[in-house]
Each structure stands twice: as structure tokens, then as C-alpha cells.
């Protein structure tokens, strides 16, 4: 495990040494962060707006969910993950396999829907923490970026079934097909060992989505 983070640190150092420096890049490097490791340099304007209005999405989605014909179990699952207390993120704790399920909240079509468990994974790829939802018909993959101690920003792209993974579209954006539009998530680590990723202003079905992650039974770190 330590070797993985040694390689991550080496990649960060290498990026700092090799990247051309703009004024903004130089300032970020002085803070110890290479420009491409700063989510603000990568995010699309559309996702920047979604992130800025995340609290609004949660408030609206929660209000809309009250009228949904959800089961007691669905409501309990929703409240358990949303009311759980977060703690500072330890990147090493994120690595490995997770059982994950989507909860769709609010919107005209979802209301409140809790889906089945599927497989997710966090690894180190090209010097970045890399997140993947690996099973189910709706999948996603993308990089996790630091954003203070309490959360990580996930900039990802969706795929379906066994389609090849796609890159996040980057600051130029341009993808307007709702089936292919980028996925913006905010990851937090919970005190009970689970993870929670909130996707504000979903472009399909719901007002926001939650991805709840827990370790599979019998899981051991590599």
C-alpha cells in the first residue's frame, strides 16, 4: 500500500518539475499542488455551477422526496447515509473494492429510489486516485481531486454496460447528451467506515443522486 502512495507522490513531484508555469500555475505549485491536480483547472463551467449549488439541490431533492411512494426500508437507507457524520478523508482508506448502491432523490421521475448493490473500486492510475463503478448497466469512472480535508471532488464520465471507459470532458465541456454528460460528485468519508458520494443536479430522473459505499463482506486490503 505504501508503495502505491510513494508512486503517487513521485508522480506529483514529476509533474511539478515538468509542467510549464503560468502565473496561476506557479502560485499553485508554490502551494505544493501541480495545476492538473487542482480540480478548478479541469472542471467544466456546467459542473462548477452544479457544485456551487449543491446545497440547493439537496434541499430541493429532500423536499421532493417526501411525496414519493417509497418504502420504509428505502427511507431508512436514505436517512442513514445522509445523516451519517463525516470525518477528514484519508486517501489510503479509499483504496480497494467497495460494494456501492445508488439512491436517487427528488425529481419528476425518481422521488426516492434505492437501487441494488454493485461493485466499485478506487485505485491509483497515472498518479491520480481513480474511481470506478465497475458493474451494473450504468457505470462511471474518473479522477478524485483533493478539496480540503473533508472531501474529494470526483470528475467522471458515465458509460453503459461494457462500453470502454471515457475521459471527463475537461474545461472545454461540450457534451450535452444527457446519457453521456459528465458526472460531478463530492466524496466524503463517514465515521462508520462507509463513503458517500453526492451528485448534485443529476441530468436524468432525479434532483440529486447518492452513491453509498461499504466494504464487501470478507474484504481485506491488498
Q: pLDDT digit string (tens) for 101-149?
A: 999 999 987 799 999 999 999 999 999 999 999 999 999 999 999 999 9
The alpha helices in 40-156, defined as continuous H runs, are 45-52, 54-65, 72-82, 91-94
Q: Residue 30's pLDDT is what?
A: 42
Q: What is the dihedral of CA 136, 137, 141, 144, to 10 degrees?
A: -60
How sure is the predictor about 222, in pLDDT bands with cuts at 50, 70 and 90?
low
pLDDT tens digits along 42-83: 999 999 999 999 999 999 999 999 988 889 999 999 999 999
Residue 215 DSSP code: P
Round the average pLDDT of the chain to a whole number and report it.
Answer: 85
What is the topology classification, in CATH, of domain 43-214?
Lipocalin (2.40.128)
Delimit the domains of the chain by residue range: 2-37, 43-214
Higher pLDDT, residue 194 or 174: 194
Residue 212 DSSP code: E
Whether 95 and 1 have beta carbons less than 8 Å apart is answered as yes
Is the pLDDT at 4 greater than 50, yes or no?
Answer: no
Angle, CA 151 vertex, CA 145 and CA 154 arms, to 5°: 40
Look at residues 43, 217, 205, 210 and name the one whose alpha carbon lies nearest to residue 109: 205
Angstrom distance (rounded) from CA 159 to CA 165: 6
Amino acid at each position: 500500500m505504501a508503495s502505491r502512495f510513494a508512486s503517487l507522490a513521485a508522480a506529483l513531484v514529476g509533474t511539478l518539475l515538468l509542467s510549464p508555469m503560468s502565473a496561476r500555475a506557479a502560485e499553485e505549485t508554490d502551494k505544493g499542488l501541480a495545476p492538473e491536480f487542482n480540480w478548478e483547472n479541469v472542471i467544466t463551467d456546467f459542473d462548477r455551477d452544479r457544485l456551487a449549488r449543491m446545497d440547493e439541490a439537496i434541499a430541493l431533492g429532500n423536499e421532493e422526496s417526501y411525496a414519493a411512494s417509497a418504502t420504509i426500508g428505502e427511507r431508512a437507507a436514505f436517512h442513514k447515509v445522509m445523516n451519517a457524520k463525516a470525518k477528514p478523508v484519508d486517501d489510503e482508506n479509499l483504496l480497494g473494492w467497495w460494494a456501492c448502491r445508488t439512491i436517487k432523490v427528488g425529481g419528476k421521475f425518481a422521488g426516492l429510489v434505492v437501487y441494488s448493490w454493485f461493485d466499485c473500486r478506487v485505485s491509483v492510475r497515472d498518479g491520480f486516485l481513480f474511481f470506478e463503478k465497475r458493474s451494473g448497466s450504468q457505470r462511471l469512472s474518473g479522477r478524485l481531486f483533493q478539496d480540503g480535508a473533508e472531501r474529494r471532488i470526483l470528475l467522471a464520465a458515465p458509460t453503459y454496460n461494457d462500453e470502454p471507459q471515457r475521459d471527463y470532458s475537461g474545461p472545454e465541456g461540450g457534451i450535452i447528451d444527457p446519457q453521456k454528460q459528465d458526472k460531478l460528485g463530492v466524496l466524503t468519508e463517514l465515521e462508520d467506515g462507509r463513503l458517500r458520494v453526492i451528485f448534485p443536479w443529476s441530468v436524468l430522473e432525479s434532483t440529486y443522486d447518492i452513491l453509498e459505499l461499504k466494504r464487501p463482506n470478507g474484504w481485506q486490503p491488498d
